[in-house]
Every structure is written in structure tokens, then in C-alpha cells.
Amino acid sequence: MAKRDFLTLLDKSPEELGEIVARACELKTLQRDHKLHQSLSGRTLAMIFQQNSTRTRMGFEAGMTQLGGHAVFLSPGDTQLGRGEPISDTARVLSEMVDAVVIRTPSHEDLITFAEAASVPVINAMTSRFHPCQLLADMQTFAELRGPIAGRAVAFVGDGYNMCHSYINAARQWGFQLKIACPEGHEPDPQILASCNSAVLVESAREAVDQADLVVTDVWSSMGHEEEQAGRKARFAPYQVNEALLDQASRDVVFLHCLPAHRGEEVSETLLDDPRSAVWQEAGNRLHTQKALLEFLLT
């Protein structure tokens, strides 16, 4: 059987993605009820993080423990990657030792190079283009709160970067309507946008959220763009998601943010604790969806 990677949401069929999210819900119940579910007993996951992480790393590390396996965290500073060993050589070496590899690297091209050289499943833990693991948790969270997302209206407000690209792919795979509002010069990649006939760019945040069932944003300066933060503040200010903007959405709108958030920038100081926000549930679901993904790829 060919090895199964998870580099973007498009690597899996809509049915497979649905299966992963459904299993995440089962695993969440098992975990809540303290029932052992060690389907990955004796298996090892290597986790290469070339950028900081709290949620993704903990989700995989705690997830492997709960599934009966083991995760090994590898930072470039501690491995030969930091001293110039080619990423493809690292992929071949790790493939001799572990059952799967999670990798967070800014370069999507490096991720592809790694996956092509590896003979075990490779999971994208975020690149500058896509963050597919986050979308599994977002889709689980919406489904738990409001049921199927197919046909619903979703608004993405802010930087047309990796989270926006992932929402475009999710609109294709889960069949929802996506309106995107970004400052000029920060639109998503035109090719990615053109690949989805249910995603459109709109003129303003207000237009995007109008009657939306789900509103999503992300930081104005993602990792790697920190030096642009001051310059971006003025350009992004009209795209802040706050209580008044959410009032324009559907009455039972859900608000999600992948976190970490910058209060007072892309969200108002108080929005994360608004009753319409489900960001803590969303963060917790990173654990359950990543466990379901590991099971899907490894068993």
C-alpha cells in the first residue's frame, strides 16, 4: 500500500476527512471518560518543528501518549538539520526509525521534498501556504456546535495567508460558501482562490460576515512576518473582528481563531470570551483531530 501523507486537505477525499472528524468525536468521548484507547501502541512519531508551536506540538505529543505510542520532538537547534544536513537525507534516516513524521517548516517546498524522500507518512504541521491540521479541528468544532457545515456561509477576515488558503481548500472539501475580506495586497494566492468555485473575495469585512454562520480570522502578522507588524496595523485595522462586526452575522454565528491571538489587533480585547466564540473548544479539538489523523494514517 502506498504511504499516506497529509500535506494539504486535498490529499484526502471529502469522505475520508469526514471519517477523521467523526473519529475525533469518538476519541474525545473516550478521553473524557478515561477509557484507554491505545491503537498506536509501540508506534513512534518524530516531530520536527522549525517554528514555535504550542497547540500543534502538544496535540501530537499528548495524542501519541494517549494512543499508546511515543512522540519525539526535534528542533533544528538540537539536530543535524540545524547544521545543514539535507532535509531529504533526514527524511530517509527518520523513515528507518519511526512510523510517521510531523513537520512544521515555513517552506512548503521543503515539506514536499521531505515527503517525497520519506517512506513513512508525513503530516504538515503548518507551512507558509497551508495549515490543514487546524482545519480538522475547526470543522470538528463547527460540527459539534451547529451540525454539518455543507452549504453554510463562512467568512474569513484578515490576512490571505496560510489559514485563508486552508479555508479555501476546506470550502472545496466540505462544500461551504466562503467570503474572504483582506486588505489590498494581502489577498490569497490567486491560483488557490481560483481552484474553489465557492470562495469569493469581497470588498469589506462587513460584506464578508453578513449573515455568516462561521466567522474566522488569524493574526495580522503570521510567523515570519513579525518585522512587518507595525506597518500592517493601519492597513489591517478595518479588518478587526469585534462584537459589533459579529452582530452583522447570523444570530447563531460561531467565531473561531486558530490562536495565538493578539487582543486589540485582529480581535477586540474581549471577543475571545464572547459567547459566540468557541476558540477554547477549537484549541482542545486540535488534540482529538490529530489523534484521529494519526490513527487514519497509521492503522
- The single residue among 67, 81, 115, 126 that binds ligand CP, judged by CB under 6 A, is 126
Amino acid letter, residue 38:
Q
Give me the least distance between CB of 134 and ligand CP, in Å please.
5
Q: 276 an active-site residue?
A: no
Q: 131 an active-site residue?
A: yes
The residues in 259-278 that bind ligand CP, with binding defined as CB under 6 A, are 259
Q: Is 241 exposed, middle or buried (0-12, 13-18, 19+ CB in 10 A)?
A: buried
CB of 154 or CB of 283, closer to ligand CP: 283
Angle at 27 between CA 43 and CA 177, to 5 degrees: 110
- Which residues in 132-253 belong to E strands, given as ranges? 153-157, 177-181, 199-201, 214-217
- The single residue among 27, 258, 278, 292 that binds ligand CP, judged by CB under 6 A, is 258
Query: Which of 55, 66, 218, 257 does the annotation list as catalytic?
Result: 218
The residues in 209-228 that bind ligand CP, with binding defined as CB under 6 A, are none
Enter the C-alpha cell of residue 52: 514555535
Report the C-alpha gap between 187 and 67 in whole angstroms.
40
Give me the least distance between CB of 70 and ligand CP, in Å please.
20
Query: Which of 57, 104, 172, 232 does the annotation list as catalytic?
Result: 104
Query: Which of 43, 129, 131, 165 does the annotation list as catalytic?
Result: 131
Task: Count CA within 13 A, CB hemisphere, residue 158.
Answer: 28
CB of 117 or CB of 257, closer to ligand CP: 257
Enter the C-alpha cell of residue 143: 460540527
- For the chain, the first-to-last Cα distance in angstroms comes to 12
Give me the least distance between CB of 218 and ligand CP, in Å please.
9
Helix/strand/coil (H, E, C) string of 285-296? HHHHHHHHHHHH
Task: Check binding of 294 to ligand CP (CB under 6 A).
Answer: no
Window of 52-60, 75-83, 239-247, 288-296 that interacts with ligand CP by CB under 6 A: 52-60
> Cis bond leading into 148, ω under 30°?
no
CB of 258 or CB of 292, closer to ligand CP: 258
> What binding mask, one character per residue, do residues 54-93 give for ligand CP by CB under 6 A, x or -?
xxx-------------------------------------
Furthest-apart CA atoms within the chain: distance in Å: 54
Give me the least distance between CB of 233 and ligand CP, in Å please.
21
CB of 7 or CB of 117, closer to ligand CP: 7
Q: Report strand pairing: 177-181 vs 199-201.
A: parallel
Which residues are paired to 122 by β-bridges?
Answer: 101
Type and span of the H or E element at 232: helix 229-236
Give me the least distance between CB of 247 and ligand CP, in Å please.
26
Q: What is the dihedral of CA 210, 214, 215, 218, to 10 degrees?
A: -160
Q: 286 an active-site residue?
A: yes
Q: 218 an active-site residue?
A: yes
The residues in 129-168 that bind ligand CP, with binding defined as CB under 6 A, are 134
Give me the least distance between CB of 15 and ligand CP, in Å please.
25
DSSP state, residue 239? G
Which residues are catalytic, by number? 104, 131, 134, 218, 258, 286
Residues that bind ligand CP (CB under 6 A): 53-56, 126, 134, 258-259
